[in-house]
Chain A
Amino acid sequence: MDWITEILNVTWNFIVLFLNENIPLVVGSVKAVIIAVAIMSVVPALVWLERRLMGRFQVRLGPNRVGPFGLGQPMADTVKLLFKESIIQSSADKFLFHLAPAVVVITAIAAFAVIPFGEPFEVFGQTIEMWGANVNSGILFVFAISGMGIYGMVLAGLSSNNKYSLMGGLRSSAQMISYELTLGLSALSIILLTGSLSLVDMVRAQETYPFILVQPLAFLLFFIAGIAETNRAPFDLPEAEQELVAGFHTEYTGMKFAMFFMGEYINMVTMSALVTLLFLGGWNAYGLPVWPIVSFAVKVFFLLCVFIWLRSTFPRIRYDRLMTFGWKILLPLCLLNLMVTSTVKVIWFP
């Protein structure tokens, strides 16, 4: 039995050496797990928050039977969704049908990897940064990954073999391509102000004042385009119940159906975090004695409430008006804002 212990020893040594040499890899994996778990457990809480707030906005109570303040409701819902029968109609493309919700959730979680939420600190001689990865072009990374999320909806529409689903998928891709332009161009004015594509640099540039004070128009445009990007009301055309049954997720049941909503809520958090980082000064508290991460979380929470508030306030826009609004109003305004910003920067702050 000597040779077995020998092999085990060698393997163990190799693993220890590998881990020792790849500490960034280990730290990165741990951070990835923490971020993924945290962001996924935020979703039920957010659903609860939305239902409670919507109830109050519509002068009713909202869920209040299961547990205190209805806090058990999201758990009951999750259990129900997990145990529901998963139905796939025989004419669907099975592989794509299963792939689509996974794409939505994976891209939503991956986009959160580059969102920073605090200053780095030191533990055991290792500098632990409060972000998954400090990519040099962090904001472009978020746009790229959230752009990949469109595929989930288009594939769901294509594979369901249902005309309502197809219409929903096409609508979502057209809508998201149109509003991505506005999103990118309004973020470009912030990139011009900081001279960097990294989200950490953008927050550090706002130490004295948040950029919403100098770029109010860009903030407004970015927020509107952000709501459209996350397919939230009043821009939830891809799933307009009155015209398309439920859009791209008409044929989905059980947990696969819930995964689309997971993606939507995670995207909501990501978008709120992006608005906070770009315009509201990220984790800077401006003199208030709170931890950076608390300041960041409070701002994101406030924006999430605004998202829910908008949903219960505005009716859905008609599809052609949505497109006209995007291309004929938001885009020219963005270009104008960009032109003014760059002119001011070149002439007064060279």
Chain B
Amino acid sequence: MLEIATVFDFTHDAVIFVVGVTAVLASLGVILCSSPIYSALYLIGHMICLALLFLLYNAEFLAVVQIIVYAGAVMILFLFIIALLGGKKEIQENSLHRSMAFAFVFTLLGELYLSATVGPTKQVQGEIPAEMFGSAKAIGLELFSKHIVAFELASCLLLVAAVGVICLAKFSFAPLRRRVR
């Protein structure tokens, strides 16, 4: 007879395993796919899987933010650009790209093997109480007290980058004269 606890753990572990494997397969799809639209779709799938993993480890807020920011906002812009440029299927010119992709994958796998053998991962030590874990409050308290300087600097950097991109991409055009209404 199976222990009750193992059955529950089995469900949890099985879900985590399935989601993890799907994430890896989706990330393989991103680099192995020849059509940009499908690559973008695989990337979206990968990000959703990551969000599910966050959710399975009780980090609800991070999961939702992952979906809103990456799967929602960033990837929709990717699709936007693919739609505007016309996502043509790439023709396989030579096998160089393919071999490079495989080399990249095997490097990643080797790294995974290394990190698995070097030593068992340590549990993260923190002072956040269990009932607050993963909530927006915990992240907010941490972000706006300990890491406030780094946070503000990062937001400044993003603002500078956005302004810089607009300056670089600006092209001279005469605005159409508005019709008198």
- A residues lining the B interface (CB < 8 Å): 13-14, 17-18, 21-22, 25, 93, 96, 135-137, 140-141, 143-145, 147-148, 150-151, 154-155, 157-158, 166, 169-170, 173-174, 177, 197
In addition to A137-B60, A144-B68, 4 A-B residue pairs with Cβ atoms within 8 Å of each other are A17-B2, A96-B41, A143-B68, A154-B80
Q: Is the CB of B83 within 8 A of A177?
A: no
A148-B67 contact given A22-B11, A96-B37, A136-B61, CB 8 Å threshold: yes
Q: Is the CB of A25 within 8 A of B11?
A: yes
Q: Is the CB of A140 within 8 A of B64?
A: yes
B112 within 8 A of partner (CB): no
Q: Is the CB of A158 within 8 A of B79?
A: yes
B71 within 8 A of partner (CB): yes
Kindly supply a per-residue 1/0 record for chain B positions 56-81, scoring 1 wherever the CB is within 8 Å of any chain A CB and 0 otherwise. 00001100110110011100100110
Residues of A close to B4: CB separation below 8 A: 17, 21
Q: Is the CB of B83 within 8 A of A157?
A: yes
Q: Is the CB of B87 within 8 A of A158?
A: yes
In the complex, the chain B residue whose C-beta lies closest to that of A147 is B72
Distance of B46 from chain A, by nearest CB (Å) = 14
Complex CA distance for A144 and B67, rounded to whole angstroms? 6
- B residues lining the A interface (CB < 8 Å): 1-2, 4, 7-8, 11, 37, 41, 44, 60-61, 64-65, 67-68, 71-73, 76, 79-80, 82-84, 87, 134-136
Which of B4, B73, B79: most chain A Cβ within 10 A? Answer: B79
B37, B71, B80: which contacts A148 (Cβ < 8 A)?
B71
B11, B67, B84: which contacts A147 (Cβ < 8 A)?
B67
Which of B8, B67, B72, B82: most chain A Cβ within 10 A? Answer: B72
Complex CA distance for A137 and B136, rounded to whole angstroms? 8
Number of A-B contacts (CB under 8 A): 80
Q: Is the CB of B68 within 8 A of A151?
A: no
Complex CA distance for A296 and B71, rounded to whole angstroms? 32
A144-B7 contact given A169-B83, A173-B79, CB 8 Å threshold: no
Q: Is the CB of A177 within 8 A of B64?
A: no
Distance of A134 from chain B, by nearest CB (Å) = 11
Distance of B122 from chain A, by nearest CB (Å) = 27
- What are 15 residue pairs bridging A and B, where the CB atoms are less than 8 Å apart in the complex? A18-B7, A21-B8, A22-B8, A22-B11, A96-B37, A135-B60, A137-B61, A140-B61, A140-B68, A144-B64, A144-B71, A155-B41, A158-B87, A170-B83, A177-B73
In the complex, the chain B residue whose C-beta lies closest to that of A170 is B83
A136-B60 contact given A144-B68, A158-B83, CB 8 Å threshold: yes
In the complex, the chain A residue whose C-beta lies closest to that of B51 is A144
Distance of B101 from chain A, by nearest CB (Å) = 22
Q: Is the CB of A166 within 8 A of B71?
A: no
Q: Is the CB of B61 within 8 A of A144?
A: no
Distance of A139 from chain B, by nearest CB (Å) = 9
B1, B7, B67: which contacts A21 (Cβ < 8 A)?
B7
Residues of B close to A18: CB separation below 8 A: 7, 11
Distance of B154 from chain A, by nearest CB (Å) = 20
In the complex, the chain B residue whose C-beta lies closest to that of A169 is B83
Complex CA distance for A174 and B77, rounded to whole angstroms? 9
In the complex, the chain B residue whose C-beta lies closest to that of A14 is B2
Complex CA distance for A141 and B64, rounded to whole angstroms? 6
